[in-house]
Structure 1
Amino acid sequence: MEVKLPDLGEGVAAATVVGVLVKEGDRVEPDTPVLELETDKAVMELPAGVAGRVVRVLAKVGEEVRPGQVVLEVEPEAEAVPSAAPSSAEAPRREPPPAPTPPTPPAPLPSGTQEERLIPAAPSVRRLARELGVEISRVVGTGLAGRITEEDVRRAAGLTPPPPSPKEVAEVPRPPLPDFAKWGPVRREAMSSVRKATLRAMAQAWSQVPMVTHFDRADVTGLEEVRKRYAPRAEAQGVRLTLTAFILKAVALTLKAFPKFNASLDPEAGEVIYKDYVHLGVAVDTPHGLLVPVVRDVDRKGVFAIARELGELSAKARERRLALEEMQGASFSVSNLGGIGGTGFTPIVNWPEVAILGVSRSEVQPVWDGEAFQPRLLMPFSLTYDHRLIDGAEAARFCRHLAGLLEDPMLLALEG
């Protein structure tokens, strides 16, 4: 019997296999998780959907799979196939839903398709469920967007919940919305898949990261002159040379000088995970919502190469042609709203990153040089960071280093 990948939800065309949980010869129940899948940076488990023995595993870790694709072949159990002479005593025993041993937790899963049983749970939560002998597919999630938390698993195992963390204490039941129609006409419009993903990501980030924002500015008068001087040469190579490309290069070099900003926290292990690569997520405004493609190894590329890749990824984002892997793996993010306007804003850290840079519109302002006021092009920017790892003084030094690179474009070549 073929096990196919079910529909992954509105707007989700594919998923990446991040774990294969069974091998050939393994016996599976309908609720046995067989694959770990990742979409929109959420990891979920795919149940077998049938009882029997695994004959062939067709999905591999790292492979992109699509709805309808066969990922597993299972030989159904003998009793599931009509036999020559079933005993009258056996027939009634085969009718009730699974499973003889061990006893199942309280409520059985509702009958339905596999897509109804895709399990929204982090790898650490699934690991805890296995350690406690809990079938995670039968646990009701109480987290954001129905995600299963460690407390849900412990509760299902009959254990006393641990003392609530600050995050859990802060969570309160969401009050119902009022009836807005009482005050005038209203209309409802379904969220797009991009907006739903943004909702989940921002809610998760806000609940996970204690954020602080530091504001600064850089004199980019010289940088803009360099950009204009070399823009025709870039255009001759089919590249649109923007200020963002220079900013990304400056950010990458600053991250090399301040590696803590290019890290992630593992509070449970009490460790800081430093990344020896610089992959920058760049927020792109599209008609479908905010998308964040990733420009990889920015520290090892020249400004022309960065500009070329950024242009290609931005075009794919606007045309909704970005592959899942092109939006994964960022170690730091940049959001540039200078093309739209504004004097400053507080970007939200994209967890599990620990910092994000926001760039606002540059303006010509009078700056005193000791003898007279000179017109200078000043670019305001803001750095939001995870205060659990980064202190205010470190954030200020990071911003000053970044400003120094932007104010002296030659450093982008010398330090790179």
Structure 2
Amino acid sequence: MAIEFKLPEVSEGVKTADVAEILVSEGDMIEAGQVVVEVETEKAVAPVECPHAGRVAKVHVSQGDSVSIGATLLTIEATSDAKDSSRGHKPSSPNGTKTSAPASGDPAEGAGGEEGVAVEPEPGSEKQSSNAKPSSTSAAPSPRFEMEEAKGPNGRPPVPAAPSVRRLARELGIDLYQVQGSGSGGRVTAEDVHAFAEDGAAEPTGTGIAIAGGGRGGAMAPAARGDIAPMAAPQLPDFSQYGPITRQKMNKVARTSAAHLAYAWATIPHVTQHDFADITDLEASRKAFMAGAGAKGPKITMTAIMVKAVVNALKQHPGFNSSIDLGSGEIVLKDYYHIGIAVDTEAGLVVPVIRDADRKTILQIAVELTEMAGKARDRKLQMSDMQGGTFTITNLGGIGGSSFTPIVNYPEVAILGMSRSQSQLKLQDGQVVERMMLPLSLSYDHRVINGADAARFITTLSGSLSDFMRLLVST
């Protein structure tokens, strides 16, 4: 029997994925649970396991293809064991013989497809009712989230939508009951919410702020989709009339980054505060520690030190560790400290997160930074590794530059940029001395943070960097 193995739901809210690598070839024998392809979803590469055993009769996709959830990846000539496992256990009659499959109502072999081909149900399709008879064939893996059972306002049933879509609607001040869902069974998607906002139909919910029009040529739209949407920009000229050109297809990481950055820049009123932190004594202490007690331990980098210093500043200035909820007109202050670290890879920019940085020492953070950077460059990060950040640090000091303007990593409200340290002559106690100065660039959301707040934050941060040993032992 031939089985069509389709791309299952790999992450909540993801509708398409790029085929990063195909790990099997036509004619290969595979086991149930074997990883057959790797797909790129937003900023992570996810392995896809096939629940069927047998021979790969046909590979329907190629590396680099963009495929939708539910698209056929492989056709598999199943072995007898695979047939039994894919059909599920059939109840036996009292005399020990197997019962026949229902004539209708269940997805039987060959139904709706070619003869002898078992077609898997589409991911996200409606589930069987509790009193329905068991199917003779197995169903596709259930989605990773279920409909909320709670009643909505005024006793109305909740709008069918994923939690991420509900959160997006709250942030944009949109009443989901006003949005027409385009998904299966009327499910409201992120695209539906953005389209509603762009049409200027969004109304304030509670004390929230109304979103009028799309603004910026619809640049807001890609925020939750993870892909670039068509933007209302002038059509590009035909550059080939001026000389030779080469077009390069953007990978999933680049498309996701472009969409996210465009959304953040279009919606967040950015201000960047530039300053210098004197790290002369800190750098001397760091080098002495690495040459002595820390010689056999992990490498203590300026980024690892900065994580601890930032956490100390966030505790004293909690507004920087928050998000703005436009739907409710509230600032969400977070009592946890998950610090994102921007990592430059060949595939593009990714931001893995160090969780609970306030509970870790610099040595523990240094170890985790090394592991995260390796996973990022090997494209082994999971989506969970890049979610939940409350503040981001980006360090360009290893490359160069004296300052830059980092873009806030939405839905955070601030990001710290570090440039290359430089020696400067300073007047200290009437004497000209040479000091090592670290350029800092703090970008923030002006809806939440004022300039005076930013100046205080930088001052606190610079003060924390003056005592390396205290940062080293603190948790």
Q: TM-score normalized by structure 2?
A: 0.61
- Aligned amino acid, residue 408 of structure 1: D
Q: CA deviation at 1:125?
A: 6.4
Which of 148, 151, 161 lines up with 2:192 in the alignment? 148
Aligned match for 2:294, one of 234, 241, 258: 234
Determine the C-alpha separation between the residues in 1 that align with 2:202 and 2:259: 25
Give the number of equivalent residue pairs.
Answer: 324
CA distance in structure 1 between the aligned counterparts of 2:168 and 2:462, rounded to whole angstroms: 42
Asked if 1:137 is matched to 2:183, the reply is yes
* Change over 3 Å in CA distance of 1:370–1:235 after alignment to 2: closer
How far is 1:219 from its partner?
A: 0.7
Q: CA deviation at 1:147?
A: 2.9
Quote the residue 2:165 is aligned against: 122
Secondary structure class of the residue paired with 1:364: strand
Match of 1:252 in 2: 311
Write the mapping of 1:251-400 to structure 2, written as runs, cut at 5 A: 251-400=310-459
Task: Measure how far apart 1:397 and its partner are.
Answer: 0.4
2:128 to 53, 74, 89: 53
Aligned-pair distance for 1:47? 7.3
User: What is the identity, as a one-letter code, of the residue corresponding to 2:240?
Assistant: A
Q: Which amino acid is 2:128 matched to?
A: R
Q: How much has 1:132 moved relative to structure 2?
A: 4.1
Q: Closer, same or farther in 2 for the Cα pair 1:272/1:47, shift >3 Å? A: farther
Deviations 1:353-399 (A, max 9, x none): 00000000001111111322111100010100000010000000000
Amino acid at match of 1:389: V
Q: What letter matches 2:214 in structure 1?
A: E
In structure 1, what residue type is equivalent to 2:17?
Answer: G
The answer as to whether partners of 1:129 and 1:153 remain within 8 angstroms in 2 is: no
| CA distance in 2 between partners of 1:179 and 1:243 (Å) | 46
Which structure's residues are more often helix, by fraction?
Answer: 1
Describe the superposition over 1:339-364 as per-residue Cα deviations: whole angstroms up to 9, x where unpaired: 11000001000000000000000011
**Cα pair 1:121 1:147 within 8 Å, conserved:** no
Q: From the superposition, tell whether residues 245 and 160 of structure 1 become closer, same or farther in structure 2 (CA, over 3 Å).
A: closer
In 2, Cα distance between the equivalents of 1:195 and 1:325?
19
Residues 120 and 147 of structure 1 are in contact (CA less than 8 Å); yes or no, is this contact kept in structure 2?
A: no
- SS of residue matched to 1:71: coil
Kindly indicate whether residue 309 of structure 2 is the aligned counterpart of residue 218 of structure 1: no
Q: Structure 1 residues 396, 160: closer, same or farther in 2, change over 3 A?
A: closer
Residues of 2 paired with 1:257 and 1:121: CA distance?
Answer: 30
Distance in 2 separating the partners of 1:125 and 1:271: 15
Asked if 1 retains the 8 angstrom alpha-carbon contact of 2:418 and 2:441, the reply is yes
Q: Give, in whole Å, the separation in 2 of the partners of 1:361 and 1:298.
A: 24
Q: Distance in 2 between matches of 1:225 and 1:251?
A: 20
Q: For the residues of structure 2 that align with 1:279 and 1:135, how far apart are their CA atoms?
A: 34
Deviation, 1:222, is 0.8
CA distance in 2, matches of 1:211, 1:167: 20
Q: Report deviation, 1:148.
A: 2.8
Unaligned runs of 5+ in 2: 11-15, 19-39, 48-120, 132-138, 144-160, 205-209, 219-231
Structure 2 CA distance, aligned partners of 1:345 and 1:351? Answer: 18
Instruction: Say whether the 8 Å CA contact 2:175–2:202 is kept in structure 1.
Output: no
- 2:140 matches 1:70: yes
Q: 2:17 aligns to what?
A: 9
Cα distance change on mapping 1:342 and 1:4 into 2, 3 Å:
closer
Measured after TM superposition, the shift of residue 301 of structure 1 is 1.3
CA distance in 2, matches of 1:183, 1:256: 56
| Percent identity (aligned) | 38
Residue type matched to 1:234 in 2? Answer: G
Deviation at 1:302, TM superposition (A): 1.1
For structure 1, the 5+ residue unaligned runs are 16-45, 57-68, 74-117
Contact persistence 1:120–1:148 (CA under 8 A) = no
